[in-house]
Structure 1
Amino acid sequence: MSLFPTTGSNGRRLVLFWQLSRRFWFGGRWSVIGLGVLLLGVVLLQLLVQVSLNLWNRNFFDALERRDGYAMWAQAELFFPLAAASVVLAATSVWGRMTTQRTWREAMTRDILESWAAKRHDGAIADGIDGAENPEYRIAEDVRVATDAPVDLSLAFISSGLTATTFFGVLWTVGGSIEFQLFGHHHEIHGYLVLGVVLYSTLMTSLMLLLGRRMPGVIETKNQAEAEFRAAAEILRGDHAETPGMALAAKATLLQRLGKVLATWRELCWQLASTTLVSQANFLFAPIAAYILCVPKYASGAMTLGEVTQSAAAFVTVQGAINWLVDNYQRLADWRSSAHRVSSLLLAIDNMEDGRDEAPSEADASVPDPAAPRDVDQAARHS
């Protein structure tokens, strides 16, 4: 009897993906625990270096504004160890992430193959289960995406949260409050740079969600069309198209599915073009927005040049951290699609019949065992 229903919502199928994944993450393996500790430690050290570089930015430009050559050279000497630490940590992060992804992919692939090997293979797989066709592609490609993306996205999310929290303090402290007259009344906004970065990030995130709202569905449809196209291409190989009529039918099916692939790619192209408008505009306008917010206080003498550059750098850093969704929207959509398709494969395998050890047939029993002793044959010849 099947453990899971043959149909289910996407949320239910993602739960199945999680149930398989937690065997790897919570199985008590010291190598996995060590990799997790290493990655979190690198994130914290990278944040420390980032804060140090932000403070260095302020001190360097303050020295530049004062035309203090000695202080500028001192800051220049400090920059090199900070830069070296940043480079080493970045390389360590890449090694740790890719090692974790490779290990997780191996564990998940082994679990799926063991489940599949325990089933009978004389029937079709994924009968009636959408998204589980062409299981070889599911195991080779979708498992890779489903295990690569969560590691990168989780670390980016943790880093973004810590970075936003830390640099909120920098913006609040360095930016302070701004005072202005409006309609004859005096106004003061405390932590106005924090308010500015929150409003700016909210605007960009809202635009990304609005323009890219159909992205997950489009990516999933595209992946499904690609899998169906590969399955149709298999028909043209070997003995699957023995007669001209079968070959023509296979070719017609292949061309039909190619048309579907190209249609989904065209739809994905429009979605990516729309989201690129937001991401590229954000890349260009974020630092400009920060400088515009700092100009009034710099012009009044309430901010030094170093504080302006420090605040602008912190503004861009916080904005990038808050806009984690904007930066990773397509990656999230890719992961959701692949995780859903891996879960569909799990459902399909679960609904296959269990393998059985069948007794040997009469035909098999009539075949002599080559390992049997030959003494009886020899005795018969001598008699």
Structure 2
Amino acid sequence: MVVVLQLYVQFRFNYWNRDFFDALESRDPARLKGQAFLLVPLCIGSITLAVTSVWGRMTVQRQWREWLTGKVIDYWVEDDRYARLAAVQSEQQIPEYRIAEDVRIATDAPIDLALGLVSALLSAVIFIQVLWTVGGDIALPVGSHSVRIPGYLVLGVALYSGIVTTAMMTVGAPLTRLVQIKNQAEAELITAAHRLRDIGEGIAPQEQRPEVCRDLRSTLRATIDQWRRLCWQLMRTTIVSHGNSLLAPIIGLVLCAPRFLSGAMTLGELTQAAAAFTLVQASFNWIVDNYGRIADWMSSLERVGSLLLSLDRLNRDMPPQQAEPPALPTGSVKLP
């Protein structure tokens, strides 16, 4: 309901934008004053709905994270799986990090993405109608004839969005895997630091300190290397996303310019259509704007799933009665 109301307010802002610029074009003080008074309730409504949306979204995320984290912890502790997993070095997957961080991302991101997707779909439906109505038709000269294109702004936004989405899918393909590798490196760095703390607390012998310090520095270098690889990938995807944010409003204005110059469109309708073009392309390019968030979510989802699969395999490969006390870790841990 909140999403629908937010879209309604956005729709009213779109028409307010048209009426305001039409009043400017006609130099009508009375109309300008009326639009100024109308702006106040629109702003109050928009702010109220935005605050309500944050409360509802984060409440659902908090409750889902609490439920899922509790389930994973129960399964990890049940039948001493936490000790048995630690005893199998090839199967250790830094469960503490996955339970704390990856479960958080795996529960936070779907709520944000789902709300964003619903909003994008509804925005596309609503503002395509605005583009079709306000944009109208355009006649393009082809030789000695002219070809009339109905709803040309809708066709233009569809073609533009298709190009941008294809570019992002091509450029950003490796992102999910790089995020997963980076998260694993971060988890290994935390594990290496914990080993040094164990020595300081007397849990592990002091003789291991040189080896543990070397391992900690090596793990840090590996983590920084993964961040560097992720940085280069994000730079490539930023070229597409930032270029789109710059070009979309301009392309909307350029496509509307012929009708405005011919007198078939007022200044208010020009700004209204350009704003609607930007909103529709943002809806069509939802995957472009959320590609990094989707990659983070998929990476964390795979890591949580991998942990649960490893806990499942323990029952088959090492039943509870065969479990041995966990051995102290001797080096960096890698994903199986």
Cα distance change of structure 1 residues 126 and 145 upon mapping to structure 2, 3 Å threshold: farther
Query: Do the aligned residues in 2 keep the contact of 1:298 with 1:304 (CA within 8 Å)?
Result: yes
User: Partner of 2:18 in structure 1?
Assistant: 58
Give the length in aligned residue pairs: 314
Which aligned pairs between 1:267-346 and structure 2 lie closer than 5 A?
267-346=229-308
Cα distance change of structure 1 residues 147 and 122 upon mapping to structure 2, 3 Å threshold: closer
Alpha-carbon shift at residue 55 of structure 1 (Å): 1.0
**Helix, strand or coil for the counterpart of 1:230?**
helix
Q: Provide the rounded CA distance (Å) in 1 between the counterparts of 2:134 and 2:65.
A: 45
Q: Provide the rounded CA distance (Å) in 1 between the counterparts of 2:224 and 2:203.
A: 25
User: Partner of 1:242 in structure 2?
Assistant: 205
Alpha-carbon shift at residue 117 of structure 1 (Å): 2.3
Structure 2 letter corresponding to 1:269? C
Q: Provide the rounded CA distance (Å) in 2 between the counterparts of 1:152 and 1:275.
A: 20
Query: Do the aligned residues in 1 keep the contact of 2:65 with 2:107 (CA within 8 Å)?
Result: yes
Which aligned pairs between 1:1-383 and structure 2 lie closer than 5 A?
41-120=1-80, 121-125=82-86, 127=88, 133-238=93-198, 239=202, 241-244=204-207, 246-353=208-315
Query: Do the aligned residues in 1 keep the contact of 2:85 with 2:311 (CA within 8 Å)?
Result: no
Alpha-carbon shift at residue 355 of structure 1 (Å): 5.8
Query: Do the aligned residues in 1 keep the contact of 2:105 with 2:300 (CA within 8 Å)?
Result: yes
Query: Do the aligned residues in 2 keep the contact of 1:126 with 1:349 (CA within 8 Å)?
Result: no
Alpha-carbon shift at residue 221 of structure 1 (Å): 0.6
Q: Provide the rounded CA distance (Å) in 2 between the counterparts of 1:327 and 1:190.
A: 29
Cα deviations across residues 306-335 of structure 1 (Å, max 9, x unaligned)?
110100000001111111111100000000
**Helix, strand or coil for the counterpart of 2:314?**
coil
Query: Do the aligned residues in 1 keep the contact of 2:18 with 2:269 (CA within 8 Å)?
Result: yes
**Helix, strand or coil for the counterpart of 1:44?**
helix
Query: Do the aligned residues in 1 keep the contact of 2:120 with 2:286 (CA within 8 Å)?
Result: yes
Alpha-carbon shift at residue 49 of structure 1 (Å): 0.7
Structure 2 letter corresponding to 1:303? M
Cα distance change of structure 1 residues 157 and 328 upon mapping to structure 2, 3 Å threshold: same
Query: Do the aligned residues in 2 keep the contact of 1:119 with 1:352 (CA within 8 Å)?
Result: no
Alpha-carbon shift at residue 287 of structure 1 (Å): 0.8
Alpha-carbon shift at residue 68 of structure 1 (Å): 1.3
Alpha-carbon shift at residue 349 of structure 1 (Å): 2.3
Structure 2 letter corresponding to 1:124? L
Cα distance change of structure 1 residues 327 and 129 upon mapping to structure 2, 3 Å threshold: farther
Cα distance change of structure 1 residues 330 and 166 upon mapping to structure 2, 3 Å threshold: same
Q: Provide the rounded CA distance (Å) in 1 between the counterparts of 2:89 and 2:171.
A: 33
Cα deviations across residues 11-66 of structure 1 (Å, max 9, x unaligned)?
xxxxxxxxxxxxxxxxxxxxxxxxxxxxxx10010111111111111111111111
Query: Do the aligned residues in 2 keep the contact of 1:126 with 1:133 (CA within 8 Å)?
Result: no
Alpha-carbon shift at residue 184 of structure 1 (Å): 2.1
Query: Do the aligned residues in 2 keep the contact of 1:125 with 1:352 (CA within 8 Å)?
Result: no
**Alignment identity in percent?**
50
Structure 1 letter corresponding to 2:280? V
Cα distance change of structure 1 residues 169 and 129 upon mapping to structure 2, 3 Å threshold: farther
Alpha-carbon shift at residue 200 of structure 1 (Å): 1.1
Q: Provide the rounded CA distance (Å) in 2 between the counterparts of 1:72 and 1:237.
A: 67
**Helix, strand or coil for the counterpart of 1:237?**
helix
Q: What is the TM-score of this pair, normalised by structure 2?
A: 0.89
Alpha-carbon shift at residue 243 of structure 1 (Å): 3.8
Alpha-carbon shift at residue 185 of structure 1 (Å): 2.0
**Helix, strand or coil for the counterpart of 1:352?**
helix
Cα deviations across residues 239-277 of structure 1 (Å, max 9, x unaligned)?
465143x22222222222222111110100001111111
Gaps of 5+ in 1: 1-40, 357-383
Query: Do the aligned residues in 2 keep the contact of 1:216 with 1:334 (CA within 8 Å)?
Result: yes
Q: Provide the rounded CA distance (Å) in 2 between the counterparts of 1:205 and 1:176.
A: 26
Structure 1 letter corresponding to 2:84? G
Q: Provide the rounded CA distance (Å) in 2 between the counterparts of 1:126 and 1:135.
A: 13
Q: What is the TM-score of this pair, normalised by structure 1?
A: 0.79
Structure 2 letter corresponding to 1:263? D
RMSD (Å), alpha carbons: 1.7
Range that drifts further, 49-58 or 154-163: 49-58
Q: Provide the rounded CA distance (Å) in 1 between the counterparts of 2:269 and 2:11.
A: 14
Gaps of 5+ in 2: 322-336
Cα deviations across residues 326-353 of structure 1 (Å, max 9, x unaligned)?
1100000000011111111212222334
Query: Do the aligned residues in 2 keep the contact of 1:46 with 1:89 (CA within 8 Å)?
Result: yes
Cα distance change of structure 1 residues 287 and 236 upon mapping to structure 2, 3 Å threshold: same
